[in-house]
Structure 1
Amino acid sequence: MRWLLCASAVLLSSGAWADAPRVATDIAPVHALVSIVMDGVGSPDLTIPPGATPHSYAMRPSEARALAGADLVVWVGPALTPWLNEPIETLAGGAVHLTLQDSAGTEVLENRSGVAFEAHEHAHDAHDMDGHDDHADHDDHADHAAD
């Protein structure tokens, strides 16, 4: 959320740009968020089209031009698009770079029970059936509809 407020301040500050700022984003979800922030001001360019793999995408010349003409580049960071780091530095060296994920990596959050999401297993097909033999209390089973 902090980056969204920073981006809003940069994009909407009256003295920063006389016209709408030229903004380039890396992937579609970031593009959608920046589009919301820029609503009524302008629209960002998307560097990696939907459906393309962000890990090894090769930019088209039009996408490289959009990056080169950007005043602001908003991207996830080198963890998702490592190949984009060099083009951002060379093509958009004079632009403000807003990296959404720091180089420290992804933080694993815990769910409400204190279990890390990565370690939590869902066993929906093999759930415990102990104590579930008595169906007399279940009115919603189709085979008991004749009662």
Structure 2
Amino acid sequence: MKKTILSLSLLSLSLFSHAEVLTTIKPLGFIANAITDGVTDTKVLLPVSASPHDYSLKPSDVEQLNSAQLVVWVGHGLESFLDKSIDKLPKERVLTLAEVPAIAEIVAKTEKHDDHDHDHGHHEHSHAHDGHDHSKDWHIWLSSDAADIAAEQIAARLTQQYPAQEAKIADNLANFKTVLTAKKVELQKQLAPVKEKGYYTFHEAYGYFESAYGLHPLGSFTINPTVAPGAKTLAKIKEHVSSKQAKCLFAEPQFTPRVIESLSKGTQVKVGQLDPLGAKIEMGKNAYPTFLQSLADEFSQCLAEK
């Protein structure tokens, strides 16, 4: 009987020691990985080619959600495909970043009222019914301040689950903060020469990054990457390209519309590619600063004078 109890205890300990943190998207995985390094594993739910804007859960995804010790997601405003599955999980196993007061405060500052140009082609109102709240900027992983807070929250949850690893978790968090602070200083210097250069991004995802480094966006092709840009938007972009106000048009690896190629053809405007999900960045304890660096490199390379 004692052997059975001991065996079950060891099995339980073994399963717990290999339990992982599961994040919905890769950038959240970058942040989590910095804190879980040497403590437990971090896994990412969405494939690198997928976007949270149009993803559909598979049975294997539900299995991962049910087996993870901690699920980290932005919230209902972004990953609406998770609503039902998340609600079925115990609250102590879910970290909803949008509900963290300090992050909610950051997001609240981006709220837009219904006064923007509703020009989205024949899909004009589809973004209001796609399950996403487009009145706020939910791309919080592009805010280094929000990332810092997220790291603190993940560290706090891990410390509860792994009290014996408290010192290691604290060390990981301190390292994340130190490296991130240094990276922000580097990026300020790198992006300073291109601050006044105008450009268009594919969709409204980069507001936090742009504000942090004083960049000069002229607009975006669309609010929602699953919705085609409308005629008014395209006419405005074409005007800015013709007048050379727009130095670069940025596509994304998840969505590469032909319209960017069409608008840039026969002009001097450059075409770049921004990846808001860091598909090519390898997971690791310093992956998040590397991710920010990759964005800065794309901006500086495309906006630099020829």
TM bracket, shorter-chain basis? 0.5 to 0.7
Instruction: Give the number of aligned pairs.
Output: 102
Q: How many angstroms apart in 1 are the aligned matches of 2:51 and 2:80? A: 12
TM-score under structure 2 normalisation?
A: 0.29
Task: Judging by fraction of residues, say which structure has more helix.
Answer: 2
Structure 2 residue ranges without an equivalent (≥5)? 1-14, 111-142, 144-210, 219-239, 247-306
**CA deviation map 1:43-85 (0-9, x unaligned):** 1221112221212312233221110012211101111111212
Q: How many Å separate the matches in 2 of 1:29 and 1:126? A: 31
1:36 corresponds in structure 2 to: 34
Closer, same or farther: CA 60–107 of 1 in aligned 2, 3 Å? same
Higher mean Cα deviation, 43-52 or 30-39? Answer: 43-52
What is the root-mean-square deviation of aligned Cα atoms in Å? Answer: 3.2
Structure 1 match to 2:244: 125
Residue type of the alignment partner of 1:93:
P
Bigger Rg, which one: 1
Residue correspondence of structure 1 range 78-93 to structure 2 within 5 A: 78-90=76-88, 92-93=89-90
Aligned to 2:61: 63
Distance change >3 Å, CA 95–CA 71, structure 1 → 2: farther
TM-score by length of 1: 0.55
* Residue 46 of structure 2, aligned match among 48, 52, 61: 48
Residue 80 of structure 1 aligns to a residue in which SS? Answer: coil
Q: Which runs of 5+ in 1 are unaligned?
A: 1-16, 110-116, 128-147
Q: Give the corresponding residue for 1:73.
A: 71
> What are the superposed Cα offsets for residues 101-128 of structure 1, whole Å, 9 maximum, x if unpaired?
247755239xxxxxxx5xx66579349x
The separation in 1 between residues aligned to 2:97 and 2:79, in whole angstroms, is 12
Q: Deviation of residue 18 (structure 1)?
A: 5.4
Aligned-pair identity (%):
29
Q: Which has the higher contact order (CA 8 A, sep 6+)?
A: 2
Kindly indicate whether residue 94 of structure 2 is the aligned counterpart of residue 97 of structure 1. Answer: yes
* Counterpart position of 1:133: none
Distance 1:18 1:43 in 2: 11
Aligned to 1:44, the other structure's residue is in SS state: strand
Query: Distance in 2 between the 1:50 and 1:106 partners?
Result: 28
